């Protein structure tokens, strides 16, 4: 239900704010990037939790689920904070984000080398996952 609500909120956000206005502002671009990351993150978690089923709550998996969910809540909180700033109502979280080194009124970017490393790590993790699945079964 929460994931469906996320997709609805994402769609409504695109209806409320014209795309041209969002992309013209660094704050709007940051908000769109974080909203997209949030939706993607929670989609992956939903699929992961669904696939694990009861194993999710066995042993150390429950702590992993807690940590992954906490990261998701943090990303969602930052997304909401950016939305509040976009509408002229910044929150205290904006100051925390600023103290952490991210000025929300300038466009956040990831350097090309960092992106290449992230893509490479993703490919390695996918290969390891498929290889592990093949060797087990």
Give the model confidence (pLDDT) of 39-84 as tens digits: 999 999 999 899 988 898 888 889 999 999 999 999 999 999 988 8
CA atoms of 74 and 117, how far apart (whole Å): 23
Q: In the numeric block, which tokens belong to residue 37? A: 């990351």
Q: How far apart are CA 79 and CA 104, in angstroms?
A: 11
Q: Is the pTM of this model over 0.85?
A: no
Determine contact, residues 23/59, Cβ cutoff 8 Å: no
């Amino acid at each position: 239900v929460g994931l469906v609500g996320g997709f609805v909120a994402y769609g409504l956000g695109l209806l409320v704010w014209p795309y041209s206005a969002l992309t013209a502002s660094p704050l709007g671009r940051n908000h769109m990037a974080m909203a997209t990351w949030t939706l993607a993150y929670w989609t992956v978690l939903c699929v992961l939790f669904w696939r694990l089923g009861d194993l999710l709550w066995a042993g150390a998996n429950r702590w992993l689920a807690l940590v992954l969910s906490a990261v998701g809540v943090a990303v969602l909180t930052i997304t909401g904070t950016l939305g509040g700033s976009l509408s002229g109502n910044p929150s205290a979280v904006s100051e925390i984000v600023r103290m952490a080194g991210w000025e929300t009124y300038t466009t956040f970017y990831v350097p090309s080398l960092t992106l290449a490393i992230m893509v490479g790590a993703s490919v390695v993790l996918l290969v390891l996952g498929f290889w592990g699945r093949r060797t087990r079964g």
